[in-house]
Structure 1
């Protein structure tokens, strides 16, 4: 029995690349190389862009000089095949072929042979007369469904005004009407299933038959691509702090903020790939969650500040990243307390588990699941970003070299820097003593997330009975005060309302009428005194 071939899939088309990886995972004779690069691939599967890029081919050829490369082309042309042969690529495969042929082609390439499909053979492949129109229909539905999913997610954000929500709901109705019309024109009125997580099929392409396991892997990977693409777009928008309280990220320049968040996102992607390759169970991932937090934080910190960078303070040379990593024991408990939903996020992206929202399990393709995962991912990114900046403020906040390289111009002076650090300290104390017990008592989790204007804060429901039982000291006192207020407030409000009604009655009915009678008597007395004067003038 032949050994499984180790395949490395590369290219700039993430959805097609993920589909090929899912198909490879489903076959026992093929296996994907681990993302950490510890195992050299037997063959490289290159998803070539259209039009064909010679520079990209040379890049992969130079990166894998001794490994055969098979180019994946949507519709090979004679000029493309000639270019690939000139650049030293061992073969090409058309994505319209069946997957068994791909495996045979890979083994042929690994054996030292070449495989070049003839253009006339591909052109002679029977194409259904309506293949192009079916492709156009499917592609249009993909765009409509993607916009519908985006609108569903936007409608669930708490920062939308009534007018914006009304506009978006109207836009949603228009898209749904357009979708029904498309189905009526091309599909005889039969509804087409949701396509937003699927790659638009090429004209006359035969779909790959996937097992349930491979289909779950494909859906999970497609979901990750959607989340990462959405978050990448968010990082290009303003990062203004709209939470009403200072964040550690505020001290960084805008370009440094985006750099740090992009580093964390890349490291999180590597972590998820490592967990998938290690094939850890859900229980093992939950057990290793503190270690995963530490690894993600340390790698992000080293990449951001420089793994081997030295900091000169007076006559002492300090390795910056190593010194900052020593702060982990201090900030680990606080970070873990703010990373709500990280367990759900990892289990969904690693194992494809459904998303639990208020006790209900939502599948990966549900808009509610995607919106919640996007919220959890953004909170994880921003909390880790704050945790990477926090040890720098604790250890080297006033070092001139650090200020010039990382800080925003507003915080360069010692006065503004000291004011910012004091605001951070007060905000942390306020959150620890008041906001945290209140959130626990109200079964709410505060999350940071991105909006079109910047970084904002929201609350989501989550049972926290166990944490409520563990509160003590001032935090427990706060919950007791809140409980007492909730118990007494209605009665006190009713009492004040009753007393207010009594006071109004006394003022209006008793005192008011008494004052009215007194005033009436005074006016009558003035009138009586004035009448004799008029009579005297009349007699004259």
Structure 2
């Protein structure tokens, strides 16, 4: 890097402004723009990388504007941190000059905490901007006049901050109180379905209001409590710049969780999991035509189990965020993640030390149930669809491809479909929790008293329920799954205000279809033969039916009509003759 020429990197989402600024700066002797782009990550990818730690920056100064990002997080200081962090992580000693339209005082104060050297407003004279570039490139600061406010302004600012904090605290307390009160009402098992649906809707509204209050009234970080900026992992940052998780075209082997997206992800995940929790307040009645393992539980136990799995799922996603797991590793760990989710849910639901007595011998229930993992994996967990896509959506903001439509991360349509996938995942894991119990200890008195629905307490009803489940799995294995593969669809279990229902979504399954053998393959051939023959048979039957109708109406019907008309005419001519004969007899 030449010492006589200041080399600059330009980050601005507005391509027209960026081009104009680059042209103006290139025209100045001693200034050179070596890289420019809409985001910090895109500019970093243009700069040469070094394998050495603490490498010298390839530029003297970064001119940064974060305010026009697409879907920037709120408040402003979060957007600023996201745009600044890649530079801080890779080149801590590199100077940054903010060039933006408008920034509030809190954001500028936070910029000083981060280590930003200067701040300029768009629209300033080019000569003043060049002066600011020279000062910041040499290690000085420019434009931060807010560091020494007047006593009157500081007093007014502190009063506003205290008022905002009081308003935030009181609002959150009122919302939490209302949520607790409504949640208490939902614990009543005799609550009508309509009223339960209304209360669940109010809970969702309160959860959304709580999120809005936290976003609008939460205090920005101060120098003492500023959000920590995570340093890059050792021996990895110098090799390549951070990967933008919003890109759907990133190779799987290089995609990893980007630390600067954690706050945005946190808000999205909080909204999604709050919606799932609110959905669990509705009725959990099975509306499908097939039995589910959780049907044997009382409704409050069903709700408790699903909430436990949701909580464990939330914790799993948080741990994966902190673990910086890339997509390739995630695809290899999906089975282990579901197994850990299943085993943790069993432990939490039944209790680690829950024991039962059989023939005067006590057994710990949970260790025995956990022995069934191979069967549970093959019959339920491995058959849960689109798990990798769901976790990738949560962790890397990867768009969801559902029913041949690409849904961008964070849009209401994408969140709704991610919620359906998560509901199916939770319900299937709940079925997997109950299945080993039904296989090993279905008719134990203590278990029936603690968990079962009152309609399924007798031995006869329990055995009937188990047989129905067994037949369901045989039918699905031999006929249902091959048909779904042939029709390129997945059948999901989703939550509705009335209960649990089936939802069918299109998804290509050609590779699975080609691996079918034996009876399952024969089923697809029969379906294909039916599709090929049935329309022709229907057309033939329709033609024959039309011919029969024509025969009956046009030939037989007309013949019968002529016969009937002749009979009526004969009767009509005989009636006057009989009257004439009676009249002649009376005259005699």
TM-score range, shorter chain: 0.5 to 0.7
**Counterpart in 2 of 1:427?**
472
Change (3 A) 1:96 1:309: farther
How far apart are residue 317 of structure 1 and its match? 2.5
- Aligned match for 2:276, one of 220, 231, 239: 231
CA contact (8 A) 2:488 2:506 kept: yes
**Counterpart in 2 of 1:507?**
552
How far apart are residue 325 of structure 1 and its match? 0.6
Change (3 A) 1:296 1:95: farther
How far apart are residue 429 of structure 1 and its match? 2.2
CA contact (8 A) 1:449 1:457 kept: yes
**Counterpart in 1 of 2:47?**
none
Once residues 522 and 511 of structure 1 are traced to their aligned partners in structure 2, the CA distance between those partners, rounded to angstroms, is 17
Do residues 200 (structure 1) and 211 (structure 2) align? no
**Counterpart in 1 of 2:110?**
98
SS of 1:288's equivalent in the other structure is helix
Change (3 A) 1:497 1:227: same
Do residues 287 (structure 1) and 299 (structure 2) align? no
How far apart are residue 497 of structure 1 and its match? 1.4
Residues 62-81 of structure 1 correspond to what in structure 2 (within 5 A)? none
CA contact (8 A) 1:219 1:364 kept: no
**Counterpart in 1 of 2:568?**
523
How far apart are residue 391 of structure 1 and its match? 0.5
- Aligned match for 1:484, one of 522, 529, 542: 529
How far apart are residue 336 of structure 1 and its match? 3.3
Once residues 454 and 95 of structure 1 are traced to their aligned partners in structure 2, the CA distance between those partners, rounded to angstroms, is 47
How far apart are residue 266 of structure 1 and its match? 1.6
How far apart are residue 405 of structure 1 and its match? 0.8
Task: Deviation per CA, 1:116-160: give whole Å up to 9, x if none.
Answer: xxx9885343999xx99xx99xx9xxxxxxxxxxxxxxxxxxxxx
SS of 1:311's equivalent in the other structure is strand
**Counterpart in 1 of 2:401?**
356
- Aligned match for 2:309, one of 244, 264, 285: 264
**Counterpart in 2 of 1:438?**
483
**Counterpart in 2 of 1:277?**
322
Once residues 218 and 526 of structure 2 are traced to their aligned partners in structure 1, the CA distance between those partners, rounded to angstroms, is 67
- Aligned match for 2:543, one of 480, 498, 505: 498
* Unaligned residue ranges in structure 2 (runs of 5+): 1-52, 54-73, 90-105, 116-150, 172-210, 230-241, 245-257
**Counterpart in 1 of 2:417?**
372
**Counterpart in 2 of 1:125?**
157
Structure exhibiting the larger radius of gyration computed from Cα positions: 2
Once residues 257 and 25 of structure 1 are traced to their aligned partners in structure 2, the CA distance between those partners, rounded to angstroms, is 46
How far apart are residue 267 of structure 1 and its match? 1.3
How far apart are residue 214 of structure 1 and its match? 5.2
CA contact (8 A) 2:381 2:428 kept: no
SS of 2:215's equivalent in the other structure is coil
CA contact (8 A) 1:239 1:453 kept: yes
Which moves more between the two structures, 420-429 or 288-297?
420-429
- Aligned match for 1:251, one of 290, 296, 299: 296
SS of 2:216's equivalent in the other structure is coil
**Counterpart in 1 of 2:286?**
241
Once residues 25 and 315 of structure 1 are traced to their aligned partners in structure 2, the CA distance between those partners, rounded to angstroms, is 67
Change (3 A) 1:466 1:28: same
Task: Deviation per CA, 1:421-451: give whole Å up to 9, x if none.
Answer: 2222222222222222111111110111111
How far apart are residue 197 of structure 1 and its match? 8.8
Once residues 274 and 336 of structure 1 are traced to their aligned partners in structure 2, the CA distance between those partners, rounded to angstroms, is 20
CA contact (8 A) 1:444 1:463 kept: yes
Once residues 370 and 84 of structure 2 are traced to their aligned partners in structure 1, the CA distance between those partners, rounded to angstroms, is 37
SS of 1:125's equivalent in the other structure is helix
CA contact (8 A) 1:264 1:300 kept: yes
Change (3 A) 1:247 1:95: farther
SS of 1:459's equivalent in the other structure is strand
How far apart are residue 535 of structure 1 and its match? 2.2
Do residues 400 (structure 1) and 450 (structure 2) align? no
How far apart are residue 367 of structure 1 and its match? 1.7
SS of 1:297's equivalent in the other structure is helix
**Counterpart in 2 of 1:314?**
359
How far apart are residue 102 of structure 1 and its match? 8.4
CA contact (8 A) 2:402 2:505 kept: no
- Aligned match for 2:520, one of 475, 496, 507: 475
Change (3 A) 1:374 1:122: farther
Once residues 279 and 413 of structure 1 are traced to their aligned partners in structure 2, the CA distance between those partners, rounded to angstroms, is 50
Once residues 29 and 310 of structure 1 are traced to their aligned partners in structure 2, the CA distance between those partners, rounded to angstroms, is 54
Q: How many residues align?
A: 388
Do residues 385 (structure 1) and 385 (structure 2) align? no
Once residues 488 and 564 of structure 2 are traced to their aligned partners in structure 1, the CA distance between those partners, rounded to angstroms, is 60
Change (3 A) 1:99 1:235: farther
Give the TM-score of the pair, scaled to structure 2: 0.59
SS of 1:201's equivalent in the other structure is helix
**Counterpart in 1 of 2:457?**
412
Task: Deviation per CA, 1:392-428: give whole Å up to 9, x if none.
Answer: 0000000001111111111112122222222222222
**Counterpart in 1 of 2:44?**
none
Once residues 408 and 249 of structure 1 are traced to their aligned partners in structure 2, the CA distance between those partners, rounded to angstroms, is 10
How far apart are residue 532 of structure 1 and its match? 3.2
Do residues 465 (structure 1) and 465 (structure 2) align? no
* Unaligned residue ranges in structure 1 (runs of 5+): 2-14, 31-93, 104-118, 140-195
CA contact (8 A) 1:223 1:364 kept: no
